[in-house]
Amino acid sequence: MTVTNNDGGTPVPQEAPASLLLGIEGLNVSFSTPRGRVDVVRDVSLALAPGKALALVGESGSGKTVTARTLVGLNAANAKVTADRLEVLGRDALALSERQWRGVRGKEIGYVLQDALVSLDPLNTVGQEIDEALRAHGVRGKAERLERVHQALRDAGIPDPELRARQRSGELSGGLRQRALIAQATVLNPQLVIADEPTTALDATVQAQILELLEGLKEQGRGLIFISHDLAVVGRLADEIAVMQGGRIVESGRAAEVLADPRHEYTKALIDAIPSGAAKGTRLSAATRVRAAAEPDRATEFSETAPAVEARGLSKSYPGPGGTRRTVVDDVSFTLERGKTLGIVGESGSGKSTTARIALGLTRPDAGTVTLGGFAWAGAGADEVGEEQRRRHRPDIQLVNQDPLSSFDPRFSVGRVITDALEAGSIGTPRDRTQRALDLLARVGLPASLFDRRPLTLSGGQRQRVAIARALALQPRVLLLDEPVSALDVSIQAQVLDLLADLQEQLGLSYLFISHDLGVIHHVSDDVLVMKDGHVVESGTAAELFVNPQTDYTRQLLAAVPELPARA
Amino acid sequence: MSAAATTSHTGLPRTTATAGSAGRVILKRAAGSVFVLWAAVTLTFFVLRLTPGDPITAILGGAGSSPSPETVAAVKAQYGLDQPVFVQYLDYLAGLATGNFGTSYIFKVPVLDILGPQILPTFQLAGLAMVFSWAIALAFTLLTVGRGRVLDGIGRGTEVLFAALPPFWVGIMLAVVFAVILGWFPVAGDDGFKSLVLPALALAIPLAGFIAQVTRSSFEEALAQPFVLSARARGLSELAVRLGHALRHAILPGLTLSAWAVGSLVSSAVVAEIIFARPGLGRSLVDAIINRDLPITLAVVVIIAAVYIIVTLLVDVLYRVIDPRISEKGATA
């Protein structure tokens, strides 16, 4: 491993390169496409010493992932990699054959992908996946391999490894799954671990645990490269940061310095885009404000005095295995005032989505009532509200999901998606629906040129705007926003949050805002509901709850959120 | 860890399906199978009565014969045709329950005596055709998917061509090339494995085209999954990734198709049986239909339905072996 490659006249820098895990200079990666070459990574230089963590920061398409995959030789077949120097663990990576790469992958470099649910073969047990790495690198002896599988799981902080090794990824919770993914990448004790968005989409407390695990890897003297768009996570783990934009490194340096004193405009924008309580009431992005175009003209019985949504004593349980019942929502009450935002925060399985479905009138509660704008909307027993009664009020409450793409008919154009919603609500005449759809697009800050595009060809942020436009088509009074920005990059997230704030102000909308991201919840909410295991653990105004949490659980949640050090 | 925690934080909870133990599932399936079999028998029984022509004429030697009214009455009584249709139906069901398929109108002997020797050759033919078509389909998938534009195009094109070929034409071509010209295989007859190859191929090639098309697209999909990248990043070779991960996912939809294919193979075997002059159920069915031999027609339909049901059950079991998540759905969904 200490062999330095001197042929080809690659310049050997003064400071002992053999001790560096990575020495990259002038890396370029381009892809050949039917429309010609596309440069994805340009002139990237990186270095990493053992026991250090390097963060690649940037948005989707900034070249982070391609850079990382180049380090394990796993770019797509149409990729072309050139570099002045590409030294990985003391080897010239440009000269490695596929067979030699196979000896490196898994053994000397561990690669952890983003989402463990899809990054582990769902048909295999976790143990089989780890065992595969051992077999691929010639570890003979079944008993020895089994022992090492268990040890790897134990090292990744998984209790009861003998049991977990026999389970498939789908049977594990998000946190255990991510640990198992790390275990399969580190079972052979690689010197370098690359993790692509290792904590994205994890709940705050689980995220904190995974960060701890990664920190442990670092302390064992391994090098860690990780990719993230979450600067708070980066601040916690990284020694060095390289900020990427459009395939180039626009700023790099010691983590603390870059975060505290960003030089590049792009880095500053990324830091400003982080939603938090401190930025409450301010705009997160530089995007221009949208203007309300048309006034609502739909008749509604929505009361001007009653709360927008009032839920009392909601409960819901489902049959569990063996004739038991699993209570998903237990005695949940809340009030959403008109024109305000109520944030519901909680981890997976806390019952927030079921509460949302009840509020939408899609799931019948076992007990409790919901009123919407003063009229009875949902209930159980004597208070039960039939769908016929609900139907004419349905336009008053609309839903925006985390993943809008799956809620669009893929054959429809953007325009059709919206005119279809108008038609369903019998809003406007067939003739003026096109104009209304264009107005709605303008209202959510999208150009009219997107009217004929398919949602599949849009970016994540644009799709979410289309979803909001469609929800607005029926001129609702309440929007139920279920993790509306969770799948978006931080700067796109900032723009969508700003858009939602503008719309609320102009249209007087009330928001029921569900998220697992406490920063987002703090930023947008007037009132907050903290849920755990189907119960409301704590509720109150955002100002009180975040500053002075009353329960241990809320305190624990808040403590788990990584935060950036205050900027100078 | 808990069942609830495995759903993603945005996944709205669904009501859990009540999936019992494996034993109960099999029992339920078996009961369902009996019902399907009964429905097939009933439908065929009544539909065949609706077809024009008089069974008595068939029994008594076709349209040319002119039997006396006494003979007609005697034959009617002998075959139970003097009874109301519904009583005939119940009699038939009762017979089936004891393994009695009735008496052939043409051959005047129990149906099973005629069909018995035909069953095995047909099953051999259909079984081998199934094996061949999977072998061809998997070879195409493993060798051409994601191996560059040229190979991919060749594989894709060949599959479409195969799927479009009519079995009788394939059969004739195979016979001409490999039996007549090259002399590698016998032209016709039922003489061991060698005589089985060409007819099985005739049935297998078009079917392989269908299966390969389905397998190809799911194989492509599987190769693009992050878990495949994970496997490569562990240091696995291309072949290990394809065999160990992608293939398992790719087989599933083709397997579903296979259950249907076996049922249809038994009935479409007639083409190969006629071209290669082999005995078999398909030939018996065609002869029986032409001669209006209702008991044999009915029996063949029942056998095909039974085969279809058994294969479907087998596929179901295989599916669970390949995708163990299914058996656990009840506990984890």
ipTM of predicted assembly, 2 dp: 0.72
pLDDT value at residue A326: 81
The count of residues in chain B is 333
DSSP state of A403: -
* Amino acid type, A129: E
Chain A: give the shortest CA distance to residue B233, in Å: 5
| A565: pLDDT strictly greater than 70 | no
- CB within 8 Å of B99: residues ≥ 6 apart: B112
pLDDT tens-digit map of A149-158: 998 898 888 8
* Unique residue bearing structure tokens 């048909």: A123
Q: Do B6 and A129 touch (CB under 8 A)?
A: no
Q: Rounded to the nearest 10 degrees, what angle do helices A460-473 and A490-507 cross at? A: 20
Compute the distance between CA of residue A309 and CA of residue A335 in angstroms, rounded to an integer: 6
Compute the distance between CA of residue A22 and CA of residue A242 in angstroms, rounded to an integer: 14
The count of residues in chain A is 568
Q: Do A118 and B330 touch (CB under 8 A)?
A: no
**Identity of the residue in B1, B10, B235 whose CB atom sits nearest the CB atom of A103:** B235
Q: Which CATH superfamily is domain A7-272 in?
A: P-loop containing nucleotide triphosphate hydrolases (3.40.50.300)
Query: Considering only A58-62, A100-104, B19-23, B25-29, which range has the smallest mean pLDDT?
Result: B19-23
pLDDT tens-digit map of A476-511: 999 999 988 887 878 888 888 999 998 898 888 999
pLDDT value at residue A94: 87
CB atoms within 10 A of CB B233: 24
Compute the distance between CA of residue A522 and CA of residue A277 in angstroms, rounded to an integer: 5
Q: How many secondary structure helices (H) and strands (E) does chain A include?
A: 20, 21
Average pLDDT over residues B128-157: 86
DSSP-derived secondary structure for A553-566: HHHHHHHHS--PPP
pLDDT value at residue B4: 37
For chain B, domain boundaries:
111-332
Chain B contact for A515, CB < 8 A?
no
Q: Do A74 and B226 touch (CB under 8 A)?
A: no
pLDDT value at residue A242: 93
Compute the distance between CA of residue A384 and CA of residue A77 in angstroms, rounded to an integer: 59
Q: Which has more pLDDT, A46 or B101?
A: A46
pLDDT value at residue B131: 92
Confidence of residue B5 (pLDDT cuts 50, 70, 90): very low
pLDDT value at residue A15: 44
pLDDT value at residue B291: 79
- Show residues of chain B in contact with A105, CB under 8 Å: 232-235
**Phi and psi, residue A385, nearest 5°:** -115, 125
Q: Which has more pLDDT, B33 or B6?
A: B33
The radius of gyration of chain A's CA atoms, rounded to the nearest angstrom, is 26
**Contact at 8 Å (CB) between A482 and A406?**
no
pLDDT value at residue A566: 55
Confidence of residue B16 (pLDDT cuts 50, 70, 90): very low
Chain B contact for A115, CB < 8 A?
yes
Q: Which residues of B touch A (CB under 8 A)?
A: 1-13, 15-16, 18, 148, 225-227, 229-237, 240, 244-245, 248-249, 322-325, 328, 330-332
Average pLDDT over residues B58-65: 66
Q: Which has more pLDDT, B85 or B241?
A: B241
* CATH dotted code for A339-365+389-560: 3.40.50.300
Query: C-alpha A224: how far from its chain's center?
Result: 21
pLDDT value at residue A309: 92
Chain B contact for A221, CB < 8 A?
no
Compute the distance between CA of residue A234 and CA of residue A262 in angstroms, rounded to an integer: 14
When scoring A74, A123, A358 by the number of chain B Cβ atoms within 10 A, the one with the most, hence best to mutate, is A123
Chain B contact for A354, CB < 8 A?
yes
pLDDT tens-digit map of A267-288: 888 888 877 766 677 777 776 6
Pairs of residues, one from chain A and one from chain B, whose beta carbons lie less than 8 Å apart: 139
pLDDT value at residue A292: 56
DSSP lists the bridge partners of residue A241 as A55, A253
Query: Considering only A295-309, A383-397, B48-62, B163-177, which range has the smallest mean pLDDT?
Result: B48-62
pLDDT value at residue A510: 94
Q: Which has more pLDDT, B291 or A440?
A: A440
For chain A, domain boundaries:
7-272, 339-365+389-560
pLDDT value at residue A6: 41
Q: Do B5 and A107 touch (CB under 8 A)?
A: no
Chain B contact for A347, CB < 8 A?
yes
**Contact at 8 Å (CB) between A444 and A465?**
yes
pLDDT value at residue A536: 93
Query: Considering only A292-296, A458-462, B217-221, which range has the smallest mean pLDDT?
Result: A292-296
Average pLDDT over residues A443-460: 84
pLDDT value at residue A2: 38
Interface of A with B in 324-343 (CB under 8 A): 326, 328
Helix (H) / strand (E) containing A341: strand A341-346
Name the 3-class secondary structure at A376.
strand
pTM over 0.90: no
**Contact at 8 Å (CB) between A476 and A504?**
no
Percent of chain A with pLDDT over 70: 92
pLDDT value at residue B149: 80
**Alpha-carbon distance values, A67 to A25, A196, A205 (Å):** 12, 11, 29
Helix (H) / strand (E) containing A160: none
**Identity of the residue in B13, B240, B249 whose CB atom sits nearest the CB atom of A353:** B13
CB atoms within 10 A of CB A306: 15
Average pLDDT over residues B272-299: 82
Which chain A residue lies closest to B222 (C-alpha atoms)?
Answer: A121
Chain B contact for A203, CB < 8 A?
yes
**Contact at 8 Å (CB) between A248 and A225?**
no
Query: Considering only A336-350, A516-530, B124-138, B281-295, which range has the smallest mean pLDDT?
Result: B281-295
Compute the distance between CA of residue B172 and CA of residue B165 in angstroms, rounded to an integer: 12
Compute the distance between CA of residue A477 and CA of residue A397 in angstroms, rounded to an integer: 6
Compute the distance between CA of residue A151 and CA of residue A143 in angstroms, rounded to an integer: 12
* CATH dotted code for B111-332: 1.10.3720.10
Q: Do B4 and A114 touch (CB under 8 A)?
A: no
Q: Do A171 and B249 touch (CB under 8 A)?
A: no
**Identity of the residue in B226, B235, B322 whose CB atom sits nearest the CB atom of A118:** B226
- Max CA separation in chain B (angstroms): 85
Query: Considering only A109-123, A287-301, A534-548, which range has the smallest mean pLDDT?
Result: A287-301
pLDDT tens-digit map of B186-202: 777 667 777 888 888 88
Query: Considering only A411-415, A467-471, B167-171, which range has the smallest mean pLDDT?
Result: B167-171
Confidence of residue A325 (pLDDT cuts 50, 70, 90): confident
pLDDT value at residue B325: 77
Confidence of residue A87 (pLDDT cuts 50, 70, 90): confident
**Structure tokens, B148:** 């560059």
**Structure tokens, B26:** 């099999």
Q: Do A102 and B236 touch (CB under 8 A)?
A: yes
CB atoms within 10 A of CB A97: 9
pLDDT value at residue A241: 92
- Show residues of chain B in contact with A72, CB under 8 Å: 233
**Alpha-carbon distance values, B281 to A222, A233, B265, B270 (Å):** 69, 69, 11, 7
* Unique residue bearing structure tokens 């003209």: A297
When scoring B230, B325, B327, B328 by the number of chain A Cβ atoms within 10 A, the one with the most, hence best to mutate, is B230
Q: Which has more pLDDT, B176 or A13?
A: B176
**Alpha-carbon distance values, A447 to A258, A435, A440, A451, A470 (Å):** 35, 13, 10, 8, 15
| B253: pLDDT strictly greater than 70 | yes
